[in-house]
Amino acid sequence: LSTPSNTVADLGERAIIDLIRRRLPAAPSWILTGVGDDAAVVEPSRNRADVITTDALVDGIHFDRRFTPPAAVGHRAMAANLSDLAAMGAEPRVALLSLVLPATLAAADLEAIVDGLLALAAAHGVHLVGGNVTRSPGPLVIDVTAIGAVHHRRVLTRGGARPGDEVWVSGTIGAAAAGLQMLQAGVAATDDVQACMDAYLAPQPRLRLGSLLGRNRAASACVDLSDGLADGLAQLANASGLAIEVDREAVPLHPATRAWLAARTSDAVAVAAAGGDDYELLFTVSPRQRSRLRAVQPHLRGLTVTRIGRAVAGSGTWLTWPGGRERLGPGYEHFR
């Protein structure tokens, strides 16, 4: 179907839908109606609530096709949504894909986008059950809706933190923002550089961590860091009605991120915190529930979690060090 010169306009709507359908694995029996009808019909997961999220990636805003391969575009579109489900403690089940495609998009690029998206979906047991394909007189837009399930007493919200709770984060901070700068600068990919680039190109949604934190009631609140650490801290502090202090020295930067930022800024931690696209989880733990977090940790398959600070009465988010503190910036706002 796709030759090097083929565009999506050559294919047309029905061939595009067929191209996607051919790539779908067999649907489980709880998907009563999948792709191909007016809507999908899905049997709910017994005794659990539906968790629903949507996130769009726009060419020129959220990615640059000059250095983001199409498979990475598809991966990131799915990852952004699965990360939101992870932050609620939910297990993902189904997704819908809404594509707004410029007529000049190469058919091979569309195939790679769909392959990247479906590979991450398959890795997490997510089934594509529907969507929409339309033409764009402007940029490529990939809008994914993901639906998961969670027991309604195991939901992780942003608003459950209490003063005195510890503040924890998974993985490392700032690697995706550094990786994006490395890609933009065309840096040669050593192992360290590649780790940062991969953090940007192929972020891993922390579904296992989110689900374990919820099921074990280890966390009092949780948010994902799609817009970076500073934004996540502000969202959690605002929703919980308190302040958060972060120990500057405790923030886990990947060594390559630290080296990259140290050569370019006087405050690597603040810059890493302001960078977006970290799909890590930020969560709070009551000191009384610390043993529950310890019970979760052996099941994280190598993912580290790091205590970086504490929730306190008040408002705002702060970077602290022995003898001082300063306000953290508000983080990335998509629209500006």
Give the tokens for residue 231: 């934004």
Least Å distance, CB 268 to a second copy, is: 26
For position 334 contacting a second copy by CB under 8 A, the verdict is yes
What mask, x for binding a second copy by CB under 8 A, covers residues 125 to 144? ----xxxxxxxxxxx-x-x-
CA–CA separation, 46 and 49 (whole Å): 8
Least Å distance, CB 332 to a second copy, is: 9
Scanning the structure block, which residue is given the tokens 């696209």? 277
**Part of the chain binding a second copy (CB under 8 A), chosen from 60-68, 111-119, 264-272, 312-320:** 60-68
H or E element, residue 78: helix 70-87
CA–CA separation, 36 and 238 (whole Å): 42
Given a contact cutoff of 8 angstroms between Cβ atoms, the answer to whether 99 and 133 are in contact is: yes
**Part of the chain binding a second copy (CB under 8 A), chosen from 8-16, 256-264, 267-275, 309-317:** 8-16
CA–CA separation, 87 and 209 (whole Å): 9
Task: Give the count of residues interacting with a second copy (CB under 8 A).
Answer: 72
Least Å distance, CB 130 to a second copy, is: 6
Site for a second copy in 264-323 (CB under 8 A): none
Site for a second copy in 202-241 (CB under 8 A): 222-224, 239
Scanning the structure block, which residue is given the tokens 């809706």? 145
Given a contact cutoff of 8 angstroms between Cβ atoms, the answer to whether 275 and 231 are in contact is: no
Residue (12 or 163) nearer to a second copy, CB: 12
Helix (H, G, I), strand (E, B) or coil at 303: coil
Scanning the structure block, which residue is given the tokens 């500057």? 248
Alpha carbon distances (Å) from 157 to 89, 153, 161, 235, 283: 9, 11, 9, 11, 10
Least Å distance, CB 276 to a second copy, is: 12
Least Å distance, CB 309 to a second copy, is: 20
For position 90 contacting a second copy by CB under 8 A, the verdict is yes
For position 56 contacting a second copy by CB under 8 A, the verdict is yes
For position 87 contacting a second copy by CB under 8 A, the verdict is yes
Least Å distance, CB 129 to a second copy, is: 7
What mask, x for binding a second copy by CB under 8 A, covers residues 235 to 264? ----x-------------------------
Which of 79, 212, 237, 243 is CA-nearest to residue 158? 237
Site for a second copy in 63-82 (CB under 8 A): none
Least Å distance, CB 254 to a second copy, is: 24
CA–CA separation, 104 and 220 (whole Å): 48
Residue from 20, 73, 78, 85 that binds a second copy (CB under 8 A)? 85
Residue from 61, 262, 295, 313 that binds a second copy (CB under 8 A)? 61
CA–CA separation, 176 and 174 (whole Å): 6
Given a contact cutoff of 8 angstroms between Cβ atoms, the answer to whether 164 and 287 are in contact is: yes
Residue from 24, 58, 119, 243 that binds a second copy (CB under 8 A)? 58
For position 13 contacting a second copy by CB under 8 A, the verdict is yes
Scanning the structure block, which residue is given the tokens 């500073």? 230
CA–CA separation, 271 and 265 (whole Å): 8
CA–CA separation, 312 and 320 (whole Å): 13
Site for a second copy in 157-186 (CB under 8 A): 157-159
Which of 265, 276, 285 is CA-nearest to residue 231? 276
**Part of the chain binding a second copy (CB under 8 A), chosen from 38-46, 162-170, 180-188, 243-251:** 38-46
Least Å distance, CB 106 to a second copy, is: 15
